[in-house]
């Protein structure tokens, strides 16, 4: 099982076997996914939009229509109160 040592600066070398498995090259980026008591490394190939959906969300997507309507009501109420 591949392993590495963490330096005083918090740095480590990714073992060659893992770099090859993830097809990592110099200057590639890694995403750290925390799952309970473990961390999963994911190589980032492409741009940031390719990561959409890679991190699970515990929340439901925001309903922007409801947010806009609530904002309109708050602004209207403030205008009436100050006007």
Q: 12-57, pLDDT tens digit by residue?
A: 999 999 999 999 988 888 989 999 999 998 888 766 776 677 777 7
Q: Any idea what the CATH number is for the domain that residue 29 is in? A: 2.10.260
Residues across the chain: 83
Residue 78 located in a structural domain: yes
Tell me the DSSP string of 28-55: -EEEEEEETTEEEEEEE-S-GGGGTTSS
Residue 71: predicted pLDDT: 92
Range of the domain at 69: 16-82
Residue 83: predicted pLDDT: 62
Between residues 34 and 60, the one the model is more confident about? 34
Please state the domain count of the chain.
1
Residue 10 located in a structural domain: no
Helix, strand, coil proportions of the chain in percent (round to 5)? 35, 15, 50
Residue 58 located in a structural domain: yes
């Amino acid at each position: 099982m591949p392993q590495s040592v963490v330096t005083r600066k918090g740095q480590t070398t990714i073992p060659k076997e893992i770099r090859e498995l993830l097809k990592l090259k110099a200057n590639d980026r890694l995403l750290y996914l925390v799952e309970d008591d473990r961390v999963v490394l994911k190589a980032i190939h492409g741009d940031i939009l390719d990561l959409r959906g890679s991190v699970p969300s515990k929340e439901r997507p925001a309903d922007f229509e409801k947010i806009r309507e609530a904002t309109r009501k708050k602004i209207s109420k403030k205008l009436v109160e100050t006007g």
